[in-house]
Amino acid sequence: MKETKTIKTAHVLPPDTNHHGTMFGGKLMAYIDDVASIAAAKHARKPVVTASTDSVDFLQPIKVGDAVTLEAMVTYTGKSSMEICVKVTSEELLTGKTNVAAISFLTFVAIEGGKPAVIPKVVPESEEEIWLNETAQNRAEHRKARKMHSQELAEFFRKAY
């Protein structure tokens, strides 16, 4: 797992923020997808696509002038899919105070010739990696149930129009 770890840091500037002086959620979500895709490609060593953004929990605001750091890691693998965890921290650069600002889980699929491609299993080693890997099955069950519900909604909307 540690070989997939990917880190991105950016300075939060006024164009990145809303009228509250905090980072746009959509801007942060783009950063999350970007760093997660790199971690997924590092693991698969094949092209990857985002299958779902399972969750983005905004925990603390990220203010203009802060540094925002995103750490992504593949936490679980299936046959062709990967769960990626992204931890987002903010740092007040003038004081050094840090906060965990957001946590996100995404699913990526490796692609070869336009079809899902087989990927290697991920190997957890540290206590944190083992915990993330062991708790992934529960998240996968929730993901599967949510996807079924989304498919039901899509069918409902098809019939409604």
What per-residue string of b and e applies to 109-122 under the rule 16 or more CB within 10 Å gives b?
Answer: bbeeeeebbebeeb
Q: What is the DSSP letter of 97?
A: -
- Backbone phi, psi, residue 108, to 5°: -120, 155
Q: What's the gap between Cα 141 and its chain centre? A: 17
pTM of the predicted structure, to 2 decimals: 0.91
**Both structure tokens of 112:** 């070869």
pLDDT at 9: 98
Residue type, 20: H
pLDDT at 159: 86
2-160: CATH architecture: Roll (3.10)
**Both structure tokens of 74:** 């593949």
Tens digit of each residue's pLDDT, the chain (161 residues):
999 999 999 999 999 999 999 999 999 999 999 999 999 999 999 999 999 998 999 999 999 999 999 999 999 999 999 999 999 999 999 999 999 999 999 999 999 999 999 999 999 999 999 999 999 999 989 888 988 999 999 999 988 77
pLDDT at 26: 96
